């Protein structure tokens, strides 16, 4: 049955009901429009609950996982809105034959529905593409979300311009030309987005930051692991479990520290110094050397000791000093420590002496990047360093405490009593 025959049948029924000639066109068009709406609803349900479900079942049976990702991101669901729009657009000229002025409005409505449906489909496809790309190990730490978000923004802009052109009844090219004339305003509106895009490209090209990196950015109070990188922001989970949101372009315009190199090498630097009291530094006498020979690791330090080194009054340039013995002992201690990585620089050096004392610095790398293990290793080393100094007749510098001042007062008072 054709559209003309349907219209004739409806007119005959209405005439039999006693409808007048004046109202007949309106009621006929209304009846056809209601029928069109019902057919569109049927088309929607058939597409949504039969065709799309069949497509999804076929996808689940395939061995390829990419099509499953498209189904999970609901790429096919918006197609259900296109089917009734096509039905309405195709039947509108026949339904509104007696009211041709309504046809352009119906066509515009259909166009807007199709544009929005295609926009949703494109967004779903971009989300699926992001999921597929991130499924590859080499891309998981890249700022893929930034480029996907840019694609979605462009999709929104183009779709909005197309809808606006339909509503205004103007050509889309002329609207895009007007947008080009408003470039300065658009640059101001989308400043953060454009800066984020440029920053994302630079970060990806120079491999500056990845998801999972430990970064430290003092200007923003960020110190933790990177959670996400998108077009406008980078989310960082700090070590106190707070979240810091940093603008993406800030990683280009501000300085930050990335600890990825440390994580990749599997070693973390230990760099600590203690202050040695300078008045305790002297040449080692024979009694001290004999006493130190019984200490572990000192056999490696004193393996080449000569008589000149034993004699504090000798003119030899190789005479041992208390600080020299202590420094070489600590070096041997670090080299044999199980928590120190032997493949990196290990040394014990003296820094510039000052009025506080002689700084003795330990420089080595812990054989781990785990924070708790690293701190335990560092603490164990410093425990030994502080405890072993007295065996070399050396004293660690410390500002006097209230207890020290109290003892000094007592000693001074006792001396005065003896003098009297």
Which residues fall within 8 angstroms of residue 230, CB to CB, at 6 or more apart? 143, 145, 146, 149, 196, 248
Q: Three-class SS string for the chain?
A: CCHHHHHHHHHHHHHHCCCCCCCHHHHHHHHHHHHHHHHHHHHHHHHHHHHHHHHHHHHHHCCCCHHHHHHHCCCCCCHHHHHHHHHHHHHHHHHCCCCHHHHHHHHHHHHHHHHHHHHHHHHHHHHHHHHHHHCCHHHCCCCHHHHHHHHHHHHHHHHHHHHHHHHHCCCHHHHHHHHHHCHHHHHHHCHHHHHHHHHHHHHHHHCCCCCCCEEEEHHHCEEEEEEEECCCEEEEEECCCCEEEEECCHHHHCCCEECHHHHHHCCEEEEEEEEECHHHCCECCHHHHHHHCCCCCHHHHCCCCCHHHHCCCCCCCCCCEHHHHHHHHHHHHHHHCCCECCCCCCEEEECCCECCEEEEEEEEEECCCCHHHHHHHHHHHHHHHHHHHHHHCCCECCCCCHHHHHHHHHHHHHHHHHHC
Distance CA 186, CA 172 (A): 18
Q: Average the pLDDT over 68-90 and give the result.
A: 83
Q: Average the pLDDT over 207-221 and give the result.
A: 87
Instruction: Report the Cα 109 to chain-centroid distance in Å.
Output: 42
Distance CA 182, CA 196 (A): 21
Rounded-to-10 torsion of CA 295, 296, 297, 302: 30
pLDDT tens column, 314-367 = 555 567 899 999 999 999 999 999 999 999 999 999 999 988 899 999 999 999
Q: Tell me which residue of 37, 38, 32 sits closest to 1, measured CA to CA.
A: 32
Of the pLDDT bands very low, low, confident and very high (cuts 50, 70, 90), residue 374 is very high
Instruction: Report the Cα 371 to chain-centroid distance in Å.
Output: 20
- The answer to whether residue 311 scores a pLDDT higher than 60 is no
Distance CA 43, CA 50 (A): 10
Of the pLDDT bands very low, low, confident and very high (cuts 50, 70, 90), residue 180 is low
Of the pLDDT bands very low, low, confident and very high (cuts 50, 70, 90), residue 307 is very low
- The answer to whether residue 169 scores a pLDDT higher than 60 is yes
Which residues fall within 8 angstroms of residue 310, CB to CB, at 6 or more apart? 285, 286, 289
Q: Cβ of 89: how many Cβ atoms within 10 Å?
A: 17
The count of C-alpha atoms lying within 13 angstroms of the C-alpha of 5, restricted to the half-sphere facing its C-beta, is 2
pLDDT given at position 149: 78
pLDDT given at position 407: 62
pLDDT given at position 318: 63
8 Å CB contact between 122 and 156: no
pLDDT tens column, 94-123 = 777 777 788 888 888 888 888 888 888 888
* Residue-range domains of the chain with CATH: 3-196 (no CATH), 203-259 (2.30.30.60), 266-402 (3.30.70.100)
- The answer to whether residue 395 scores a pLDDT higher than 70 is yes
Q: How many residues does the chain have?
A: 420
Q: Which long-range contacts (CB under 8 A, 24 or more apart) does 324-329 make?
A: 324/284, 325/284, 325/288, 325/289, 325/292, 325/298, 325/301, 325/392, 326/276, 326/360, 326/388, 326/389, 326/392, 326/394, 327/360, 328/301, 329/292, 329/295, 329/297, 329/298, 329/301, 329/388, 329/392
pLDDT given at position 377: 94
pLDDT tens column, 276-295 = 998 889 998 888 888 888 88
Of the pLDDT bands very low, low, confident and very high (cuts 50, 70, 90), residue 197 is confident
């Amino acid at each position: 049955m054709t559209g003309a025959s349907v219209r004739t049948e409806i007119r005959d029924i209405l005439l039999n009901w006693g409808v007048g000639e004046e109202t007949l066109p309106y009621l006929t068009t209304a009846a056809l429009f209601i029928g069109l709406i019902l057919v569109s609803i049927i088309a929607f349900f058939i597409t949504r609950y039969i065709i799309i479900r069949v497509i999804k079942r076929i996808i689940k049976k395939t061995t390829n996982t990419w099509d499953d990702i498209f189904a999970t991101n609901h790429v096919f669901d918006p197609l259900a809105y296109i089917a009734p729009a096509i039905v309405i657009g195709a039947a509108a000229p026949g339904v509104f034959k007696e009211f041709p002025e309504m046809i352009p409005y119906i066509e515009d409505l259909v166009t807007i529905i199709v544009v929005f449906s295609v926009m949703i489909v494109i967004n779903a496809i971009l989300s699926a593409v992001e999921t597929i790309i991130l499924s590859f190990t080499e891309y998981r730490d890249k700022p893929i979300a930034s480029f996907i978000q840019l694609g979605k923004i462009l999709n929104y802009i183009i779709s909005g311009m197309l809808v606006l052109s339909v509503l205004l009844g103007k050509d889309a090219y002329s609207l895009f030309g007007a947008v080009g004339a408003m470039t300065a305003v658009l640059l101001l509106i989308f400043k953060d987005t454009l800066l984020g895009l440029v920053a994302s490209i630079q970060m990806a090209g120079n491999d500056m930051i990845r998801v999972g990196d430990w970064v430290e950015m003092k200007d923003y109070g960020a110190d933790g692991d990177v959670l996400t990188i998108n077009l406008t922001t980078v989310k960082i989970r700090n070590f106190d479990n707070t979240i810091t949101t940093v603008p993406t372009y800030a990683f280009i315009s501000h300085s930050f520290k990335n600890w990825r190199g440390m994580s990749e090498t599997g070693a973390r630097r230990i760099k600590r110094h203690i202050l040695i009291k300078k008045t305790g530094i002297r040449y080692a006498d024979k009694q001290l050397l004999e006493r130190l020979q019984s200490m572990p690791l000192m056999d490696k330090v004193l393996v080449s000791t000569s008589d000149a080194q034993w004699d504090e009054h000798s003119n030899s340039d190789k005479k041992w000093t208390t600080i020299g013995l202590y420094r070489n002992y600590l070096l041997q201690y670090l080299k044999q420590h199980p928590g120190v990585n032997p493949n990196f620089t290990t040394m014990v050096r003296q820094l510039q002496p000052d009025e506080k004392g002689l700084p003795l610095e330990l420089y080595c790398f812990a054989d781990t990047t785990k924070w708790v293990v690293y701190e335990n290793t560092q603490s164990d080393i410093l425990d030994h360093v502080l405890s072993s100094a007295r065996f070399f007749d050396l004293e660690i510098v410390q500002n006097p405490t209230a207890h020290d001042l109290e003892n000094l007062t007592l000693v001074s008072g006792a001396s005065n009593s003896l003098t009297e």
